[in-house]
Chains A and B, each alone.
Chain A
Amino acid sequence: MSSDAMSTDSAAQPEKRPPRTLRDDNDRRFWDYCAAGELRMQRCAACAKLAWPPAGNGDACDACGGKDFSWERLSGRGRLLSYCTFERQYYPECPPPWTVILVELDEGPLFISDPEGFAPEEAREGMPLAVAFRSSVDEHGAFHLPVFMPA
C-alpha cells in the first residue's frame, strides 16, 4: 500500500458497523472530518490538551476546565500500546475473532481502533502506525472509520 493511501478498499462496498455515538454536533464534526480523510480533535485553547472522545457543547477541558477548543488536524501517526481479541460476539457486525487495538497518537490521545493490514500475532509494543479511513455504514448512514496500519 502506498504511503499516501488515505482510504482503504475505496472500491469495496461500505462495511456495516455497530452504531456511532452521536451526542451532539461535535461528534458529527469528528466524523465529517474523517469523511474528508482528516483525523481532527479539539485542542483546548488554555492548556493545549486534546479532547477525545470529543468534548460536547459546553463541556470543559478535563485537564484545566477551559471551554474554548479548536479543531486541529493530527498527523495520523501513532504507536501500538495494546490489543485484545473478542472471541465472544458482542455485535452482529463484528464476528469473532475480532481484534481491537489501542493506539497512542503522536499528539497524545489514546485511540481505540481496528488493525489494518496486520494480524494480532504481528503486533508488538510500540510498533509505529498510521491512520487510514475505511468506507463504512451504520444505522446513521455512511461514514469513514479511522483504522491504523503499519507505518
Chain B
Amino acid sequence: MSSLGVEQPPIGGVAAIVGVGNTRYGEDYRNRERPRTARDLAAEAFARAIEDSGLAPADIDGLAVARAPGGVQPDAAFLASLGLAPAWIQPPEVEDPLTVAIEAMAAGKCSTVALLYASDQRSASVKYGGAATASKYYLSYYYYHPWGFSSQGAHWALMTQRHRLLYGSTEEQLGAVAVAQRRHARLNPDAVMQKPLSLDDYLASRYVCRPLHLPDYCMVNDGGVVLILRRAERARGGRQQPVLIAGSASVHVTADAAQLRPQVLDLQYGAIRAAADACFAQARLTRRDVKHLQVYDAFSINVPIALEGVGFCKRGEGLQFVQGGRIEVGGELPCNTSGGMLSESYMHGWNHAVEAVRQLRGQGGKRQVAGADVSLYTIFTSEMSKSLLYRSMP
C-alpha cells in the first residue's frame, strides 16, 4: 500500500503522562438517579487527575478538549469552575488532540497540559444508527439507507463475515475476545460490566447485526477522562512515575472508504501496518518489546484484526491467536486489560490511555501485567489507523 501517507509528527519522547483521572463508570451506570452532565463528569475526572499528579490547577498552562458526542466546550465559565487559566487551549475540533497538545508543548506554547474528554452520550440518548443518522456522520453511515444498511455495527459485521469467508474463522473464536475483556472488567472496580460472561453466555446472547452478538459491541455510557501531560524533561519528581509517549503515527484512508473497500476488502491491514511500522521506528522499539496492548475496541473484531494488522500474527490468524487466554492477564500479550470499551467504558479510546499508564506504573492491581514497561495502543476505523507507544520512564 505505497499510496498510504503516514502522518508522523516527531512527538516521540517529547512528553510524558504524569497524571490520570476517570469517573466511576460502573457506579454512574448503575445509579441512573444521579444526573450527570458532561461538565460534571469532566470536573470529576479533572479533580482525580490533578490529585493523581500532585500538581495544582495553577500548574496547568495548556488545555486540550477531545471531541465527543455530548461533550464539553472550554468556555470561560467552565475554565473558571476548574480553576484553570491556560495560555494555550485546543477546543474539541481536532481528531487527535493528544498529538496537537504534544506539538504545542514542543513549540513552547505550554509545558503542562490537561487533556480532557467527557461524554454524556447515554444520558443524552446518542444513537449510532437508523434513519435519523444525519449527514454530519460519515457518508457510509447514511447513504445506504434505501437498502436498510445503517449503524457502525453493520460495518464491522461485514468485516467479521468477510474474515469468516476468507479464513474460516468462527463465532466461537470471536467469543474469546468478549469473554477475555469481561474477565478483565471484573478485575476493575470502575468497569461498567461486572456480570460474568462465559463462552456459552456469549453464544446464547442475542445478535444485533449478524454475525455480531450484543457482547461484540461496545456499550454506550457516560463518563470522563483527564490526562495530565508534561514535557518529558520536567516530568520526573512528581507524585507518579511518568509514562513517556515514545512514538505516534497515523494513516488516513479516504479513497473508497465510503464504499468500505479498505475496511472490508483489505480489512484495513495496509493502514494498520503502515501506522504501526512508523510508530515503532519513531519510538525505536519493536513488536517484541510490547508487553501490553490496548486496541480501540468499538467491536470485538477490532482485536484480532489489529493483531494481524500490526503483525503480532499472520493474516487470517488473529482469531486463533486470541484463544487459550493468550490476550488475558497472565497470557502472552494481555490486551484491553481494564475491560476495554466492550466491558469497562466507551470513552472513545481515552480509557485505554488511562489503563496503559496504570499498567506501566504497576498500578493495575489484580489485573497488573507482570513486567509491563512498553504498551502499544492501536486504533483503526473505516478511514484511519493510528498507533501510539507508551514507555515507563525510570
Contacts and interface: CB of A to CB of B under 8 A. Distances in A.
A125 B166 contact: yes
Nearest to A120: B210
Interface in B203-227: 206-212
Interface in A103-124: 104, 109-114, 120, 124
Question: Nearest 5 pairs between A and B by C-beta?
Answer: A94-B148, A84-B157, A125-B165, A85-B210, A110-B259
Given A19-B131, A100-B149, 8 more contacts: A81-B158, A81-B162, A82-B158, A82-B165, A102-B162, A138-B146, A143-B146, A145-B146
Contacts of A102: 158, 162, 260, 264
A117 to B, nearest CB: 16
Interface string B125-152: 0000111000100011011111111110
A82 B161 CA distance: 6
B148 A87 contact: no
Nearest to B155: A84
Given A18-B131, A91-B131, A100-B149, A84 B256 contact: no
Interface string A81-95: 111111110110110
B282 to A, nearest CB: 28
Contacts of B210: 84-87, 97, 120
A77 interface: no
B149 A110 contact: no
Nearest to B133: A90
A52 B142 CA distance: 14
B130 A62 contact: no
Interface string B242-285: 00000000000011101111001100000000000000000000
Nearest to A112: B144
Contact of B261 (A21, A53, A93, A110): A110
A129 to B, nearest CB: 14
A29 to B, nearest CB: 15
Nearest to B165: A125
A114 to B, nearest CB: 6
Contact of B259 (A52, A85, A86, A94): A52
B207 A19 contact: no
A62 B211 CA distance: 31
Contacts of A125: 165-166
B154 interface: yes
A20 B144 CA distance: 8
A8 interface: no
A56 to B, nearest CB: 11
B162 A82 contact: yes
Nearest to A147: B147
Interface residues of A, number: 39
Interface string B33-65: 000000000000000000000000000000000
A7 interface: no
Interface string A2-19: 000000000000000111
Contact of A19 (B146, B211, B265): B146
Contacts of B165: 82, 124-125
A145 B256 contact: no
A40 B131 CA distance: 25
A82 B264 contact: yes
A45 interface: no
B11 interface: no
A142 interface: no
Contact of B149 (A104, A109, A112, A143): A112
Given A82-B264, A110-B256, A145 B147 contact: yes
A124 to B, nearest CB: 7
Contacts of A18: 131, 145-146, 148
A147 B165 CA distance: 21
Nearest to A100: B149
Contacts of B261: 110
Contact of A87 (B143, B147, B207): B207
B159 interface: yes
Contacts of A85: 207, 209-210
Nearest to A17: B146
Nearest to A105: B259
A122 to B, nearest CB: 13
Interface string B151-174: 100100111011001100000000
16 contacts: A18-B145, A19-B146, A21-B142, A52-B259, A82-B161, A86-B154, A87-B207, A87-B209, A91-B145, A94-B148, A97-B210, A100-B148, A102-B264, A138-B146, A143-B146, A145-B147
Contacts of A81: 158, 162, 264-265
A62 B255 contact: yes
